[in-house]
Chain A
Amino acid sequence: MSFKTFVLELTQQCNNCCLYCYNPWRAPKSTYPPGELKTNEIKNIIDKLQSETDVNSIALSGGEPFLRPDIGEIVTYIHEKGIYPVIITNGTLLTRENVQVTSDAASYEISLLSYKKNVHNFLAQRDVFDQVINGITNVAENNGNFIAAFVATKLNSPDLRKTIELAIALGAVGIMYNRVNLSANNIRYADQLLPTLSMIQENLEDLESLSDEYSIPVASSVPIPPCLVDTRKFKRIKFSVCPRGGEDSYFTIDSSGKLKMCNHTSIILGDFRTERFSELIKNPYVQQVKDTLPKECINCSEELKKICFGGCRAAAQVCYGSLDSVDPIVNLARK
């Protein structure tokens, strides 16, 4: 199999405290191992990825990647290897200088949670809206590619249309729509955060028409189980499903060099610094993710099973402790 996209978590530190954050180390009483690599160790990981896989794109994430003073050096290193560097950021540290030193980034995926300052700030749990708008403007002035990431919750879903128009006004070249993904950290806020099914439906209808009206590409990354909302009728939106270790997977290397199947899971497959990628993905957990159909999905139609396979497998594992369960959005959104 050919794996082309990887996520590199540069740090666990973050200057925001977003209510919807799914990072496993943010969970109460988390036992997720801490750690942060030195610049040369990160470069070694990039070299190793290039020698052991078909990598062509690395998304730099965290935590907040701009908290690392060597972010520019890492972006340039990736770029010079002929790999596309993508930066996933909360947008608060996009100073002119930080944008300048990361000019080699293929794109900046920046969270824009609402056009309403109070809603954006409440979700981020910090007074940062103006900093984000200024940061996006710095990216635009430097001719960088800005992808607006909208995390849909009950609190900001009604603001979607105007928020996307704000993103377009600020120069967005693409829209990433992610309905909130439940985790061991944010499940305590599920009642407050989880959008209703009609909210998701309305959001997708708005995105379909916005994409048409403004000719802007829209992607939905966190899986939306088609038993909740029939995603097949939205022709302009590119929907992702859980790749379950298949070719579209974005295996993730965490801030201490450990390999995971994606950036949502807390299950570590092994140490990427010392073991070969091809050996690590032979971990029995990978096969278990591929093979385990949640019990709630057994009676689903074959067509939907093929599209979905139970939604986000990592969300089921981190919230219920079992791959045998369906994505928690299926049970909670139906309540």
Chain B
Amino acid sequence: MMSNQLELEKLMKMKCYIMCYYPPEIALTDKIKTEIRTELLRDFLNEKIITKEIYQRLVGK
């Protein structure tokens, strides 16, 4: 029960965060940017412009 309550609060907070402080269109832009950035990083890794270590640090793997 306690756990569910915490989950609900977390969800409410998250919803509030998304709805009130972080406009959804910006979130969408950020999401696209993250994907594009990862794709760009992969290209630069393949061309040996950045190292595997830099790639991994930036994509969080």
Contact = CB atoms under 8 A, between A and B. Distances in A.
Interface stretch (A14-22, A166-174, A220-228, A250-258): A166-174
25 contacts: A115-B49, A117-B49, A130-B51, A133-B50, A133-B54, A134-B54, A137-B54, A137-B58, A165-B40, A166-B40, A166-B44, A166-B50, A168-B33, A168-B37, A168-B40, A169-B41, A169-B43, A169-B50, A170-B41, A170-B58, A171-B37, A214-B33, A214-B36, A215-B29, A215-B33
Contacts of B54: 133-134, 137
Contacts of B57: 137, 140-141
Contacts of B29: 215
* Chain B contact surface mostly: helix
Q: Which bracket fits the contact residues of B?
A: 10 to 19
Contacts of A133: 50, 54
Given A134-B54, A137-B57, A140-B58, A169 B33 contact: no
Contacts, number: 37
A130 B51 CA distance: 9
Q: Which bracket fits the contact residues of A?
A: 10 to 19
A174 to B, nearest CB: 13
Interface of B: 29, 33, 36-37, 40-41, 43-44, 49-51, 54, 57-58
Given A130-B51, A137-B54, A168-B40, 20 more contacts: A115-B44, A115-B49, A133-B50, A134-B54, A137-B57, A140-B57, A141-B57, A166-B44, A166-B49, A168-B33, A168-B36, A168-B37, A169-B37, A169-B40, A169-B41, A169-B44, A170-B58, A171-B37, A214-B33, A214-B36
A113 B58 CA distance: 20
Nearest to B54: A137
A132 to B, nearest CB: 11
Interface of A: 115, 117, 130, 133-134, 137, 140-141, 165-166, 168-171, 214-215
